[in-house]
Chain A
Amino acid sequence: MSLISTLARLEAVTTGRARPAATVRHRHLSERPLVFVPLTTAGEAGAPLGALVGTDRDAPRLLAVPQPRDRDLRFAFLAELADVVLPYLDGYADDVEAAERNETDPETGKRVKVEVELCADAPQLIVPSRAGTDFVRLLGRSMRFRRTAEQDPETPYPAPPRVPLLGRWLTHFGERARVPGSSLLLAMTDVLARHWATGQSTLEDQHLGALLAWIDPPAGISGAEAALAAELTRDPRGQLMCPPAGPATDPAFDNKLLAPAIERYDRARTALAAVEDGLEADDRLGELTAAERDIRELVLSRTLPTWEKVWQGLDLLQALPDGAHVEERWTRDRWSFTGHRDRIVAGEPPQPRRDDAVTAANKLAAREREQARLEAQEALDDPLVMAGRRLSGEAFAGEVTDVVMAYSEGKRPSPRPLVTVRTQDRPHLGERARVYRSLGGKPQAAEFVGREAGHEVGLEAGQEADDLLVLRIVDKMGRGKVPEAGSVPEKGDLLCFTTFEHEQRGGPKLPDPEETPWTHGGPPGESVQETADPLTTEDVL
Chain B
Amino acid sequence: MPLPRTRGKALRQRLAELRGPEVPAKALDARALAALAANPGCKRRAILDGAGVNKAALASALGSPSAFGQSQFAFTRGNAFEAKVKADGGAELLRLVHEKLDRRAEPPAEAQVPDLSATGPEGRAARTALALREASAAPGTWTLLDHPMLALDVAGSPAFLEPDAVVVHPDGSWTVVEIKSFPMLDGSADPAKVGAAARQAAVYVLALEQVAARLDPAPEVRPRILLVCPKDFSNLPTASAVDVRKQRAVTGRQLARLTRIEDIADTLPEGTCFAPDLPTAELTSAVESVPATYAPECLSACELAFHCRDRSRAAGAVTSLGRSVRAELGGLTTVEDVLSAARGETGDPQDPAVAALRRAARLRAEALGQEVTPCR
Which of B71, B181, B235, B316 makes the CB contact (< 8 A) with A249?
A: B71
Provide the residues of chain B in CB contact with A42, threshold 8 Å: 71, 73-74, 77
A175 to B230, alpha carbons, bound, how many Å?
24
Mask for A139-154, Cβ within 8 A of B = 1, else 0? 0011000000000000
Q: Answer whether residue A11 sits at the interface, using C-beta atoms and an 8 A cutoff.
A: yes
Smallest Cβ-Cβ distance to A68: which chain B residue: B73
A252 to B235, alpha carbons, bound, how many Å?
25
Q: Answer whether residue B366 sits at the interface, using C-beta atoms and an 8 A cutoff.
A: yes
Mask for A512-541, Cβ within 8 A of B = 1, else 0? 000000000000000000000111101101
A44 to B71, alpha carbons, bound, how many Å?
11
A4 to B338, alpha carbons, bound, how many Å?
12
Complex contact A6–B364 (CB within 8 A) = no
Complex contact B321–A41 (CB within 8 A) = no
Smallest Cβ-Cβ distance to B344: which chain A residue: A462
Mask for B70-101, Cβ within 8 A of A = 1, else 0? 11111111101000100000000000000000
Tell me the chain B residues, 165-195 only, with Cβ under 8 Å from chain A: 181-183, 185-186
Complex contact B72–A255 (CB within 8 A) = yes
Tell me the chain A residues, 357-389 only, with Cβ under 8 Å from chain B: 382-384, 386-388
A7 to B300, alpha carbons, bound, how many Å?
26
Provide the residues of chain B in CB contact with A535, threshold 8 Å: 234
Q: Answer whether residue B158 sits at the interface, using C-beta atoms and an 8 A cutoff.
A: no
Complex contact B320–A3 (CB within 8 A) = no
Some 17 contacts from A to B, beta carbons below 8 A apart, are A7-B342, A7-B361, A7-B364, A14-B339, A20-B368, A43-B74, A224-B313, A232-B67, A250-B69, A251-B69, A252-B69, A255-B69, A384-B368, A426-B359, A464-B355, A534-B234, A538-B235
Min Cβ gap B227→A in Å is: 16
Complex contact A463–B325 (CB within 8 A) = no
Provide the residues of chain B in CB contact with A138, threshold 8 Å: 185
The 10 closest A-B pairs by CB, nearest first: A43-B74, A42-B71, A251-B69, A43-B77, A201-B296, A45-B183, A254-B71, A462-B349, A387-B363, A538-B235
Mask for A191-202, Cβ within 8 A of B = 1, else 0? 000000001111
Provide the residues of chain A in CB contact with B367, threshold 8 Å: 23, 382-384, 386-387
Provide the residues of chain A in CB contact with B366, threshold 8 Å: 383, 387
Complex contact A254–B73 (CB within 8 A) = yes
Tell me the chain B residues, 308-338 only, with Cβ under 8 Å from chain A: 313, 316, 318, 320-322, 324-325, 328-329, 335-336, 338
Tell me the chain B residues, 196-233 only, with Cβ under 8 Å from chain A: 230, 232-233
Complex contact A201–B73 (CB within 8 A) = no
Complex contact B335–A46 (CB within 8 A) = no
Tell me the chain A residues, 1-57 only, with Cβ under 8 Å from chain B: 1-4, 6-11, 13-14, 20, 23, 41-46
Smallest Cβ-Cβ distance to A388: which chain B residue: B363
Q: Answer whether residue A328 sits at the interface, using C-beta atoms and an 8 A cutoff.
A: no
Complex contact A536–B368 (CB within 8 A) = no
Q: Answer whether residue A84 sits at the interface, using C-beta atoms and an 8 A cutoff.
A: no
Q: Answer whether residue B10 sits at the interface, using C-beta atoms and an 8 A cutoff.
A: no
Which of B73, B300, B316, B364 makes the CB contact (< 8 A) with A4?
A: B364
Mask for A344-357, Cβ within 8 A of B = 1, else 0? 00000000011000
Complex contact B235–A541 (CB within 8 A) = yes
**A: contact size bracket:** 35 or more
Complex contact A45–B73 (CB within 8 A) = no
Provide the residues of chain A in CB contact with B299, threshold 8 Å: 203-204
Smallest Cβ-Cβ distance to B64: which chain A residue: A232
Q: Answer whether residue A434 sits at the interface, using C-beta atoms and an 8 A cutoff.
A: no
Complex contact A23–B368 (CB within 8 A) = yes
Provide the residues of chain A in CB contact with B338, threshold 8 Å: 7, 10
Provide the residues of chain B in CB contact with A463, threshold 8 Å: 376
Mask for A224-255, Cβ within 8 A of B = 1, else 0? 10000000100000000000000001111011
Min Cβ gap B295→A in Å is: 8
Complex contact A255–B363 (CB within 8 A) = no
The winner among A46, A462, A463, A539 for most chain B CB atoms within 10 A is A462
Which of B77, B236, B360 makes the CB contact (< 8 A) with A44?
A: B77
Complex contact B77–A6 (CB within 8 A) = no
Complex contact B185–A45 (CB within 8 A) = yes
Q: Answer whether residue B130 sits at the interface, using C-beta atoms and an 8 A cutoff.
A: no
Known: A42-B74, A204-B296. 13 other contacts (CB 8 A): A1-B324, A4-B364, A6-B321, A7-B357, A9-B321, A10-B335, A13-B335, A252-B69, A255-B69, A426-B359, A463-B376, A539-B235, A541-B235
